[in-house]
Amino acid sequence: MIYLDNAATTKMSDCALKAMMPYFSEIYGNPSSLHSMGQQAAEALFDARQRISSCIGCTPKEITFTSGGSEADNQAIISAAAMGAKKGKKHIISTAFEHHAVLHTLEKLEKQGFVITLLDVGEKGLITAKQVEEAIRPDTCLVTVMYANNEIGTVQPIREIGEVCRNKNVIFHTDAVQAVGHIAINVTEQNIDMLSLSAHKFHGPKGIGALYARKGIPLHTVIEGGAQERGKRAGTENLPAVMGMAAALEEACSKLNENAQKITLLRNKLISGLSKIPHSILNGDEKSRLPGNVNFCFEGIEGESLLLLLDDKGICASSGSACTSGSLDPSHVLLALGRPHEIAHGSLRLSLSEETTEEEIDYTVKVVTEVVSYLRSISPVWRDLESGKKEFIIKEGY
Ligand SMILES: *Cc1c(COP(=O)(O)O)cnc(C)c1O
C-alpha cells in the first residue's frame, strides 16, 4: 500500500517504539509511588517533559500531558474562557476552518453566553494579523487560530498574530497539531501563550499529546481526580506513550529541515502532476502550506468514489478530514474557502511523509488521473457539463 494519509495519522517510528518498550515491562511503576520503581518512572517522566519542552522553546513546567490534540484544544479554550469570564470578558476570536476539537468547544461556550467571532479565511485559506487586530474588542479573552490546517495545509502567520495579541493583552492559543514536528516552532519567539500538540501526527503513539501554557496562565482542570500534572489533569500518567512522544518529537525536530526539503520537492511534483487534470483546482495557498499537504477539488467527481477506487489501486488517501468522512456533509474547511457544495464534495487530500518515494508520487499521479477520468466517463453530471447544459465551476486554466 502507498500511504498518503499522514495528516490523519502517521506510522510510529522505530525509535519511538523502542523508547516505549521498557516502560511496559521493566519500569512499569506508578510515578506517584514512593518506592524506587515509582521514582524511576517519575524521573523518566521528568526527563521526557524536559526534552519535549526544549523542542518547542518553553520550560518543563509549562507542559501538561493530555490524551491528545483534542483534549489539549478543549483544555486550552476552556481555561482561557474561565479566566475571561472572571473578568467579564466573554468574546473569543477564531477562524471558520478550525478543527472540530476547537469549533465544537467554541459552540458549547457560545451556548453559555460567550460571543464567538470566526474570521474569514479567504479563498486561499489564510488570515492576516491585521484581521485579528481589527476583530479584538475590549472584552476579548482569547484568540485561537490553528497553526496549520489539517485538510488544506495552509500555515498561518503565527508570530505576527501572537504579537498583535501580546500587544493587546489577549491570550493567544494555537492548535499546532499539524505543525509540530513538521515546521520549526518556538513558542517564546512566536509570542504563543498556549499550544496543542499530538504525538500520532509526528510518528509517535496515538492517545498522547500535550498542552503548553505559558507561565502564569492558570489551567482549568478538565479531568478531576488525583494530583497528577500539577493537579490540572488527573489520572495515572501514560508513561510509555509519553516516552514514545518525546523520542518521536526529538527525532522529528532533529531532521526537520532535511525532511521538509525532501517532502516539499515530492509535494510540488504531485501538485504539478495533478494540476494537469482538466477542471481541477488546488485548495489552499501554494506557498504558505505544510511540506506534505496536497488537496485538490475535481469537478464532477464524488470524493467517496474516488477514495474507494484509489484504495483498490493500493493508495490510502482522504477526502476532507477523517472526522467528517462517513458523513455526507461537505468539508467545512472547503466551504470556508468559498467552494460551492458540489465542488467541495469532489475533494482529495494526499498527505506525504519522509518515507514517501518519487515512484509512489509518479504512480499516484497516473492512477488519480485515470480514476478521475473513469469516474467522469460514467457521471451524468459530467455529461451535462461537457455538453454545455451546465456550466463548469472550475474553469480550465484556473
Ligand atoms: C489530529 C488533529 C487534532 C486532534 O488530535 P487527536 O490527538 O487525534 O485528538 C486536532 N487538531 C488538528 C489540527 C489535528 O490535525
CATH of the domain at 297: 3.90.1150.10
* AA letter at 193: D
Tell which of 220, 254, 288 closes a domain. 254
Report yes or no: 56 and 186 within 8 Å, Cβ to Cβ.
yes
Report yes or no: 321 and 178 within 8 Å, Cβ to Cβ.
no
280-282/293-298 β-pairing: antiparallel
Q: Do 279 and 368 belong to one domain? A: yes
**C-alpha closest to that of 329 among 303, 295, 301, 366:** 303
**C-alpha closest to that of 165 among 136, 185, 139, 189:** 136
- Residues near 144 by beta carbon (within 8 Å), at least 6 away in sequence: 76, 77, 80, 92, 93, 94, 98, 102, 106, 172, 173, 174, 175
**C-alpha closest to that of 317 among 336, 332, 298:** 298
CATH number of the domain that residue 169 is part of: 3.40.640.10
Spell out the alpha helix ranges (H) of 255-313.
256-274, 303-312
Report yes or no: 290 and 150 within 8 Å, Cβ to Cβ.
no
**C-alpha closest to that of 284 among 330, 321, 338, 226:** 338
- The whole-number pLDDT of residue 40 equals 97
DSSP 55: H
- The whole-number pLDDT of residue 343 equals 87
Residue 120 lies in a domain: yes
Residues of the domain holding 82: 14-254
DSSP 229: G
Residue 2 lies in a domain: no
Q: Do 301 and 193 belong to one domain? A: no
Give the DSSP H/E element, type plus range, for residue 200: none
And the C-alpha cell for 187? Answer: 513558542
Ligand 1 nearest-atom number relative to CA 209: 7
Ligand 1 nearest-atom number relative to CA 322: 1
- The whole-number pLDDT of residue 118 equals 98
**C-alpha closest to that of 147 among 131, 125, 168:** 125
Q: d(Cα 155, Cα 158) in Å, to the nearest integer?
A: 8
* Mean pLDDT (10-residue bins), the chain, 398 residues: 97 98 97 96 98 98 98 98 97 97 98 98 97 98 98 98 98 98 98 98 98 97 93 95 98 98 98 96 97 96 93 93 57 93 90 98 98 95 92 79
Q: Do 374 and 240 belong to one domain? A: no
**Any catalytic annotation for residue 323?**
yes
Q: Do 44 and 178 belong to one domain? A: yes
- The whole-number pLDDT of residue 397 equals 57
Distance, CA 73 to ligand 1 centroid (Å)? 9
Distance, CA 114 to ligand 1 centroid (Å)? 24
In the chain, the number of structural domains is: 2
Q: d(Cα 289, Cα 321) in Å, to the nearest integer?
A: 16
Binding-site residues, ligand 1, Cβ < 6 A: 68-70, 73, 99, 101, 146, 150, 175, 177-178, 198, 200-201, 209
Q: Do 343 and 199 belong to one domain? A: no
* AA letter at 337: L
Nearest CA to ligand 1 atom 5: 69
Q: d(Cα 255, Cα 242) in Å, to the nearest integer?
A: 20
User: Which of 146, 155, 178 best tests ligand 1's pocket when mutated (most atoms within 8 Å of CB)?
Assistant: 178
**Residue 344 exposure: Cα atoms within 13 Å on the Cβ side:** 21
Q: Do 242 and 263 belong to one domain? A: no
Residue with cell 506517584: 32
User: Which of 146, 198, 222, 238 best tests ligand 1's pocket when mutated (most atoms within 8 Å of CB)?
Assistant: 198
Report yes or no: 45 and 31 within 8 Å, Cβ to Cβ.
yes
* pTM recorded for the entire structure: 0.96
Q: Do 194 and 108 belong to one domain? A: yes
- The whole-number pLDDT of residue 322 equals 47
Per annotation, catalytic residue among 15, 55, 297, 323: 323
Tell which of 200, 233, 254 closes a domain. 254
Q: Do 207 and 298 belong to one domain? A: no
CA 329 centroid distance within chain: 20
**C-alpha closest to that of 212 among 190, 237, 238:** 190
Ligand 1 nearest-atom number relative to CA 149: 13
Q: Do 192 and 332 belong to one domain? A: no
- The whole-number pLDDT of residue 323 equals 47
Q: Do 177 and 42 belong to one domain? A: yes
Residue 113 lies in a domain: yes
